[in-house]
Structure 1
Amino acid sequence: MATVADHVIAALKRSGVRRVYGIPGDSLNGFTDAIRRAGDFTWEQVRHEETAAFAAAADAALSGGLAVCAGSCGPGNLHLINGLFDAQRSRVPVLAIAAHIPLAEIGSDYFQETHPQNLFRECSVYCELVSAPEQAPRILAMAMRAAVEENGVAVVVVPGEIFSHRVDDDTAWGSRPVLPARLVCHPDERGLATAAGMLNAATNVTILAGAGVAGAHDQVIELAHTLAAPIVHALRGKEYIEYDNPYDVGMTGLLGFASGYKAIREADVLLMLGTDFPYQQFYPERAQIIQVDIRGRNLGRRAPIDLGLVGTVTDTLAALRPLLAVKDDRTHLEKSLRHYDKTRRRLDALASNDRDRTPIRPEYVAAVANRLAADDAVFTVDVGSPVVWAARYVTMNGHRRMIGSFNHGTMACALPHAIGAQTVDRERQVVALAGDGGLAMLFGELLTLTQNRLPVKVIVFNNSSLNFVELEMKAAGIVNFGTELQNPDFGAVARALGMFGRRVEQPGDLEAALAEAFDYDGPAVVDVVTARQELSIPPAITAEQAKGFSLYAIRTILAGRADELLDLVTTNVARRILD
């Protein structure tokens, strides 16, 4: 006679799930034993439950289907929370199985007792307790449906003994898969007509594209041609719109390009497509704004808008396109493209190989990794300075993917995201661009690479500091404090774990080391000693930030750390003057 856990696994399999990420524990024993018996379903063991949730998020992002993680009662599932916040804010379908203490002990301050429904409520679209075996099929089905339809996290809390309960009548479990329904959604005729009128009347239209343009690449390019509009992208839109795009003028935001920033500032109509871009200071002050989003609650929450349209980008553009007139005046577009070309050449110059300059420039590291990586490589990116260099130097082509904690903004995501991505496809190249601080947070997951035989390539930007935090301190006029990292030789550590490991200190050695790592048939770590004082300057500097850098310089000298200031100037100012 099958158990509740057996039926859970069967239901997951019917819906395309083939694995669960997690760490075993006594309250999960009934669940993991069902996985063992299933045969064609795998338990992907990691070293920390946070990694299980991160890996599931990357799995869902790459596969496009539901991914599952699990944690034992109390501390076990508490460790899932940060990774689940990342999945929820990245809008990917993840189901979390949160085991719980025995049903009869709930509310008694029992060993390891928490209140999971309260804890997970904020990072999920659905969170419920299975309080009786008979509830399990219905709650599981509702959770799976919520995750795939709302593209978010669903949490099912299950007291451990319920997993092992034997089911007499299995009819309630059904036999149909839970798959996302095809959604067709576009604004009504009145909204479309209003949008067309605004766009047709405008002289300077700029498009701001986010992750919502996924699947609509060609439509957006056609729209840009019609409107003679430069296309600016938010970070999450990069992989979907940057490639094969003659209207691309780069990214905007804190990590963006001056050309993208200026194209938005000079627009008289800004058309936002599938983006909830959060930084108010980068929106235009005088332009009309049209926002298209499938989630109505996103409309106008970042900046005042003149027209909000609820719909998918694909369906909305299909309905809008016939109403638009082709613009003959391409002045705004051509000016924006010239500015982008100038900006791009300056950025590329910073990524050149200075053979006599050490530590190595992080721009150069990202550029070489980009050039050597496979055409369909998956890049996972740590929050902090690695995401800056990835955003500026890793190019998308319609086959590559870039996964990171771009909305939640948590450190330590590159390695666990890489674990999930590589588990989905063990033949595809996966490159983790890791910060030294982020890698150290979940350092034990290097063991997961070896144990699970995952050939992830890890490139460590080793600047012996929490580098982006230092930049934020400089901008605020604060002398760096508490950001120093005493790092090991990460390459030597990798070799001790049975992996490929190299340490690179000279620019001339970088390309050969990365090529060797990429060719290695197994997990590899390349530890690159990079410049600590490299500035990732945003496209627009506020007066307050300029004042902050001045205060930083004064306070650094007064603190007896003039050598640090000299290093900053040598690394950044001199090079830019020569360029």
Structure 2
Amino acid sequence: MTRTVAEVVIDALQKAGAKRCWGIVGDTINHFTDAIRKSDVRWVHVRHEEAGALAAGGEAYMTGELALCAGTCGPGSLHFVNGIFESHRNGAPVVLIASDVARTEVGLNFPQELDQRKIYEQTSVFCEYISHPEQARRIATQAAQAALSKRGVAVIIVNGDMFTQKTEDRLAWHVHRPAPVLRPSDAEMTALAEALNKAGTVTIYAGIGAREAAPQVVKLAAALKAPVVHTSRAKEFIEPENPFNIGMTGILGNRAGVEAIDAADIMLCLGTDFAWTQFYPEGKHVIQIDSDAAHLGRRAPVGLGLVGDVGDTIEALLPRLQPLEDSTHLDKALKQWAEDQRAYEKSAEGKDPALIHPQTVAHMLDRLAAEDALFTADGGSPMVWLLRHLTANGNRRFLTSLLHGTMANAYPQAMGLAAAYPRRQVIAMCGDGGMSMLMGDLLTLVQEKLPVKLLIFNNSSLGFVEMEQRVEGLLDSYTDLQNPDFARLAEVCGLRGWKVENANDLEGAMQSWLAAEGPALLDVKVNRVELVMPPKVTAGQVASTALFGVKAVLDGRAGEVVSLLRDNFLR
């Protein structure tokens, strides 16, 4: 039986596990979307393709299964670009169908013609044209397998007229999903055990590569009496049920994490490729274990670099270790972690009901949200409040833009989560800048019946940028936002909406918002002059912030300086 290329492609991707395809219909993908109509794959109609790519990435990241998006030639496919970069860097198995003009017009500068390969090959694990109808299932299967096995975006480029071509589709190409055991050689395992057995103190630094090895990380920490620091992306996996957890390092981290790494004889990096080299110990022995050899020694010089799956490697390592008895290093780190947590709780306290601190909002959300809620957060300060104030309990899941650092990621990604998990509470922690960047897809929440709960940290500014400018000793410039009444806007779009400007009204509004059926929006007016304090404040940062204060006073903004001191240092 002959079938069209469009029918074969969607059949192959559905058999690979795809359940949804996000996009906007039109010209060069009309035959593809018609094939979807006749399949069991759900087409999710968005208002902007970037939101579709972010939603597909959110779905794929959280489920670990394939998600699809599809775009028309020229502008349609190009609008996906930023969302595809975000999804690829997050390790989300997404397949993008990027269509192009008819083959008869290629190379003739036809309207909307462009070279899709040049655009997408830099942000994909697979990027190929279907050049002949007989390739349809084979290319689609290869794309799906690459996306799933390499954890990234795969791109299939199809000319619009190719979708209509017929193929016999004789060969049964299908996706393989192997589960190999990956660990270093015996000689390398011996060298690793010897190094750890000789070390006086060890601090474990666990990243996203350890996401499926949390129990093994805890066993290793117990044997080495080692505190466990985690990257921000690994919070949801490493923090729960881990008595050795002491938080994070980096600019968003806490003092316990930074000091435990700095004080250790060995920093044992497990599945992490944390990019900021200034947070690695100078002159200390770093041991790195990663499944990708290209990551070894990329961020800091390492004494020993080993290729292996974190869980497989730890299981092979444990019998070779001599359990450590001295817990001084661990006890000190745990004591500091307790102090760090108390500091976070204190920062969430507020005395003036008219001044709502964003930490207060996040802290309350942590208390009121469901135990198995799914959270997303916009790049910028909402991401910080999620990482510092939401509890990872083993059932909750978190998704933020930590590698690509984009704005407006939170609620589009939450759309993908809500589609994949319709019975779970899905909460998007949005900045007012991020929300207003892609507001059009509020309509998608209503039209597609996606019950996302939107929380807006409304400080009428690009707050994280404003903070960056001030810490660099600059006057903050061009960061003001003139926002609409988001709650009323939500109501016009068909969502329930709440607006809070006084702390006394916050808990009641948040409870009603979380209990509402369908999508709902809570707009909270939060303090604008709020610093995101790093784990350690350097002399240079103090000097730069002081310089901002001098400039602000000279510019007639003394009141802002007083607010900065009062709200961040005198509370």
1:19 aligned onto 2:29: no
Q: 1:353 to 1:542 in 2, by over 3 A?
A: closer
CA offset at residue 514 of structure 1? 1.1
SS of 1:444's partner is helix
SS of 1:171's partner is coil
Pairing 1:120-139 to 2, within 5 Å after superposition: 120-139=120-139
Q: 2:183: which partner in 1?
A: 186
Q: 2:330: which partner in 1?
A: 333
Q: 1:485: which partner in 2?
A: 481
| Conservation of the 8 A alpha-carbon contact between 1:103 and 1:131 | no
Q: 2:156: which partner in 1?
A: 156
| Conservation of the 8 A alpha-carbon contact between 2:141 and 2:174 | no
Question: Partner letter of residue 85 of structure 2?
Answer: F
Q: 1:6: which partner in 2?
A: 7
Pairing 1:513-524 to 2, within 5 Å after superposition: 513-524=509-520
Q: 1:279: which partner in 2?
A: 276
1:462 aligned onto 2:458: yes
CA offset at residue 252 of structure 1? 0.9
**Take 1:100 and 1:205, find their aligned partners in 2: how far apart are those partners?**
54
Q: 1:251: which partner in 2?
A: 248
Q: 2:65: which partner in 1?
A: 65
Deviations 1:204-258 (A, max 9, x none): 1101111111121111111111000001111011000111111111111111101
Question: Partner letter of residue 96 of structure 1?
Answer: L
Match of 1:551 among 534, 547, 554: 547
Pairing 1:281-360 to 2, within 5 Å after superposition: 281-354=278-351, 356-360=352-356
Question: Partner letter of residue 178 of structure 1?
Answer: V
CA offset at residue 423 of structure 1? 0.5
Deviations 1:110-147 (A, max 9, x none): 10111100010111111111222222222222211211
Question: Partner letter of residue 430 of structure 1?
Answer: V
| Conservation of the 8 A alpha-carbon contact between 1:145 and 1:178 | yes
**Take 2:232 and 2:136, find their aligned partners in 1: how far apart are those partners?**
39
SS of 1:340's partner is helix
**Take 2:530 and 2:59, find their aligned partners in 1: how far apart are those partners?**
33
**Take 1:462 and 1:182, find their aligned partners in 2: how far apart are those partners?**
45
For structure 1, the residue ranges without an aligned partner over 5 or more in a row are: none
Deviations 1:126-171 (A, max 9, x none): 111122222222222221121111111110100011112222x121
| Conservation of the 8 A alpha-carbon contact between 1:358 and 1:531 | no
Deviations 1:412-449 (A, max 9, x none): 00010000000001111100000000111111111110
* Number of residue-to-residue matches in the alignment: 570
Runs of 4+ residues deviating >4 angstroms? none
Match of 1:384 among 380, 387, 395: 380
Question: Partner letter of residue 188 of structure 1?
Answer: S
Q: 1:476 to 1:353 in 2, by over 3 A?
A: closer
Stretch of structure 1 that moved more, 76-85 or 543-552:
543-552
**Take 1:426 and 1:554, find their aligned partners in 2: how far apart are those partners?**
52
Q: 1:430: which partner in 2?
A: 426
SS of 2:122's partner is helix
**Take 1:312 and 1:419, find their aligned partners in 2: how far apart are those partners?**
32
| Conservation of the 8 A alpha-carbon contact between 1:414 and 1:432 | yes
Q: 2:566: which partner in 1?
A: 570
CA offset at residue 547 of structure 1? 2.0
Match of 1:210 among 203, 207, 210: 207
SS of 1:256's partner is coil
Deviations 1:87-117 (A, max 9, x none): 1111121111001011121111110111100
| Conservation of the 8 A alpha-carbon contact between 2:142 and 2:175 | no
CA offset at residue 353 of structure 1? 4.5
Question: Partner letter of residue 242 of structure 1?
Answer: E
**Take 2:465 and 2:350, find their aligned partners in 1: how far apart are those partners?**
26
Pairing 1:19-58 to 2, within 5 Å after superposition: 19-38=20-39, 40-58=40-58
SS of 2:430's partner is strand
Q: 1:396: which partner in 2?
A: 392
**Take 1:223 and 1:137, find their aligned partners in 2: how far apart are those partners?**
45
| Conservation of the 8 A alpha-carbon contact between 1:268 and 1:286 | no
Deviations 1:496-528 (A, max 9, x none): 112110001111111111111111111000000
**Take 1:553 and 1:330, find their aligned partners in 2: how far apart are those partners?**
44
Q: 2:90: which partner in 1?
A: 90
**Take 1:427 and 1:16, find their aligned partners in 2: how far apart are those partners?**
20
**Take 1:412 and 1:150, find their aligned partners in 2: how far apart are those partners?**
26
**Take 2:407 and 2:176, find their aligned partners in 1: how far apart are those partners?**
32
**Take 2:397 and 2:549, find their aligned partners in 1: how far apart are those partners?**
39
Question: Partner letter of residue 217 of structure 1?
Answer: A
CA offset at residue 303 of structure 1? 0.7
**Take 1:391 and 1:133, find their aligned partners in 2: how far apart are those partners?**
48
**Take 1:435 and 1:181, find their aligned partners in 2: how far apart are those partners?**
40
Q: 1:527: which partner in 2?
A: 523
Q: 1:113: which partner in 2?
A: 113
**Take 1:543 and 1:570, find their aligned partners in 2: how far apart are those partners?**
20
Question: Partner letter of residue 17 of structure 1?
Answer: A
CA offset at residue 278 of structure 1? 0.8
Question: Partner letter of residue 85 of structure 1?
Answer: F
Q: 2:142: which partner in 1?
A: 142
Question: Partner letter of residue 510 of structure 1?
Answer: L
Could you say what the CA RMSD is over the residues aligned between the two structures, in angstroms? 1.1
For structure 2, the residue ranges without an aligned partner over 5 or more in a row are: none
| Conservation of the 8 A alpha-carbon contact between 2:16 and 2:144 | no
Question: Partner letter of residue 83 of structure 2?
Answer: G
SS of 2:570's partner is helix
SS of 1:574's partner is coil
CA offset at residue 543 of structure 1? 3.0
Q: 2:507: which partner in 1?
A: 511
CA offset at residue 358 of structure 1? 2.7
**Take 1:227 and 1:342, find their aligned partners in 2: how far apart are those partners?**
23
**Take 1:131 and 1:465, find their aligned partners in 2: how far apart are those partners?**
49
Question: Partner letter of residue 223 of structure 1?
Answer: L
**Take 1:247 and 1:464, find their aligned partners in 2: how far apart are those partners?**
40
**Take 2:146 and 2:57, find their aligned partners in 1: how far apart are those partners?**
16
Deviations 1:530-571 (A, max 9, x none): 011111111122333222112111111122211211121121
CA offset at residue 184 of structure 1? 1.3
Instruction: Return the TM-score normalized by structure 1.
Output: 0.97
CA offset at residue 179 of structure 1? 4.1
| Identical amino acids, percent of aligned pairs | 46
Q: 2:405: which partner in 1?
A: 409
1:366 aligned onto 2:367: no
| Conservation of the 8 A alpha-carbon contact between 1:15 and 1:179 | no
Question: Partner letter of residue 3 of structure 2?
Answer: A
Q: 1:192 to 1:289 in 2, by over 3 A?
A: same
**Take 1:292 and 1:493, find their aligned partners in 2: how far apart are those partners?**
49
Stretch of structure 1 that moved more, 292-301 or 540-549:
540-549
| Conservation of the 8 A alpha-carbon contact between 2:13 and 2:141 | no
Question: Partner letter of residue 6 of structure 1?
Answer: E
Match of 1:260 among 253, 257, 261: 257
